[in-house]
A and B are shown apart, each in its own frame.
Chain A
Amino acid sequence: MMNPELVSPSEARMPEPGSATPATTERDPLAIRGLIFLRDRGIVVLFALLLVAFSIWANPYFASWNNATLIANAAALTAIYGAGVAVGIICGALDLSIPGTAAVAACVCAKLITQGQPVWLALLAGLLIGVVVGALNGLIALRGFNPIVVTIGMLSITSAAAQLIAGGYSIPGLTKLQFMGTDRYLSIPAPVWIAAGLFLVGTLFLTHTRDGLRLMAVGGNAEAVRRSGVSAERYKVLGFVISGVCAALGGLVTAATVTEASPEASPGIIFTALTAVALAGVPLSGGRGSLPRVLIGALVLATIANGLTIKGINPYWGTGVTGMLLLASLGLEKWVSTSVSRRLVASAQASVHSGTR
């Protein structure tokens, strides 16, 4: 009735589990692993190619330490917002309220500073705004409302709140925030340090901690998490909260860089960030994606803008090139996915008959 030799441990088990899998299981997926490498690291390859191309084309101005810090500084803000967008998407929801959250956080912080409150308190209050807005987004979306609509509503509310707090005008004179705006440490601008710290913590969180792994799992398949006895809802809210905190941080860094807090919630923020996230191959369907790749995505955008500016080319070309890159990356992603699944089907059939894997 059964066919024990099919899955008996002695037959089906690889001789040495884990590291040294036998040739039969690793030989055919080599092409697959190549394709997966391309999918996962394609953006790195693209970035490297861009750097080489611009180094040659825009020689000698592009490939200098000074220009590198300029690019990194330009990418830092996109990267911070991109982290928020990416965590939201990975957790299963696109958070469109990010520009509004950023504006409110900046205005609250600026208001407190101009009223003479200590800087640390003002910054903390700004970040808390992010937590509150994120939690509200999450709790409302959990009631079964479409998160996109919920966060659009929240975008309007937060924009209005920012205007009301600031009284309709930018709040200038935030020189106390220069330490996280224009100051340099080890000749690297402060926003770059902040973005680097955020991405380091965020990456460790998503890939190595219990809550991070569950957060990603909720975005991939909330039902699976629920059936494992874990509250998926808690992690959905957590995703929005992280997104809100990233937005607030972005708003604070922006204010620090220009030493004034603008109550304008610029929708451009979200689309630039979304471009970096999409370039990084984070699918809108959720559950997957990697923050380091989002960082590279932001760097790619900054590099293109920087290189074209050096060559004196109209920056609109940069926007156009970015769009084309984005569409090309979609095509690549599609091609890789179908190739991978086709090859996997082929190899799975082969392995069933040879009794391995």
Chain B
Amino acid sequence: MTTTASLAPALELSAIDMHYGFVRALDAIDFHVGQGEVVGLLGDNGAGKSTLLKVMSGAHRPTSGEIRVHGADVAFHSPKAATSAGIQMVYQDLALVDAQDISTNLNLGREILRKGPLGWLGFVDQKAQRRRSEAELDRLGVRTAAMTRPVEMLSGGQRQVVALARSAVRVSGDRSGILLLDEPTAALGYEQTQQVQSLIRRMAEQGIAVVIVTHNLALAMDVCDRLVVLNRGRKVADVATTATDNDQVVGWITGARASMFA
């Protein structure tokens, strides 16, 4: 997607260094993701992708470097600060409340209270919540199951969809949120992976900037607009998905292929 060229990127990191003692986990990383863009972050184990993701989500503070959200300089002291800047992270462990239904999970922390005296007592308007969640899922183009179905009775793919949707609805209020996904299709079967992939594309179509960290090269090639490859803490490739192929990317991941920036 090239439409983002005129705008400031949704999330931009420049010259990010991250040192653990003498170990350089990240070395002068430049990274950006635009509104409506899906960027895949690839690399072997220990290449630094998880560290970079933690920097983006506010879990780690970089040793040096700058982070900008929609062009404005930010410094994340905590994941909460990143969240309030419009960044949502979806972890591999989905952290859903199994015993509660889909609607309750999607509305946790932003419940709709009933009007009148019952609302003052803290009563939740469960019908309104279900309606809102249904509308939100419709907008994302997914329908998993009845809103009253407990999450524990969903399949793995449906649970992933609920977890993604929970984060998506939290960033899509201002239509310019940023979603960070850690292995979004781990442990999913083929069809379920397809569902999650189309959901990711739909979220991007709504203007959400998406960063996917994954080992799954097929997923990255299918769903991402652009791929960023890390190797031993350095960025070795930053390339549009259409301008590369599987073999090239594998070469960058393993280090067999020379860095684009060397």
Contact = CB atoms under 8 A, between A and B. Distances in A.
Interface of B: 80, 83, 91, 93, 95-100, 104-105, 108-111, 113, 121-124, 126, 130, 134, 138, 141-147, 153, 155, 157-158, 166, 189, 191-192, 194-195, 197-199, 201, 222-223
Contacts, number: 124
Nearest to A205: B122
A220 to B, nearest CB: 4
A215 B142 CA distance: 29
A328 interface: no
Interface in A334-357: 340, 344-345, 348, 352-353, 357
Given A7-B141, A228-B108, A230-B108, A2 B201 contact: yes
A12 interface: yes
A187 interface: no
B146 A21 contact: yes
Nearest to B98: A220
Interface of A: 1-4, 6-9, 12-14, 17-18, 21, 25, 32, 204, 208-214, 216-217, 220-221, 223-225, 227-230, 287-288, 340, 344-345, 348, 352-353, 357
Nearest to A229: B109
A211 B130 CA distance: 18
29 contacts: A2-B197, A2-B223, A3-B198, A7-B142, A7-B143, A8-B141, A9-B138, A12-B142, A17-B146, A18-B134, A18-B146, A25-B145, A208-B123, A210-B124, A212-B122, A213-B124, A214-B108, A216-B99, A221-B96, A224-B96, A224-B105, A225-B109, A228-B166, A229-B80, A340-B153, A345-B155, A352-B155, A352-B191, A352-B192
B222 A217 contact: no
B201 A17 contact: no
Contacts of B98: 220-221, 287
Contacts of A25: 145-146
Contacts of B91: 227
Contacts of A210: 111, 113, 122-124
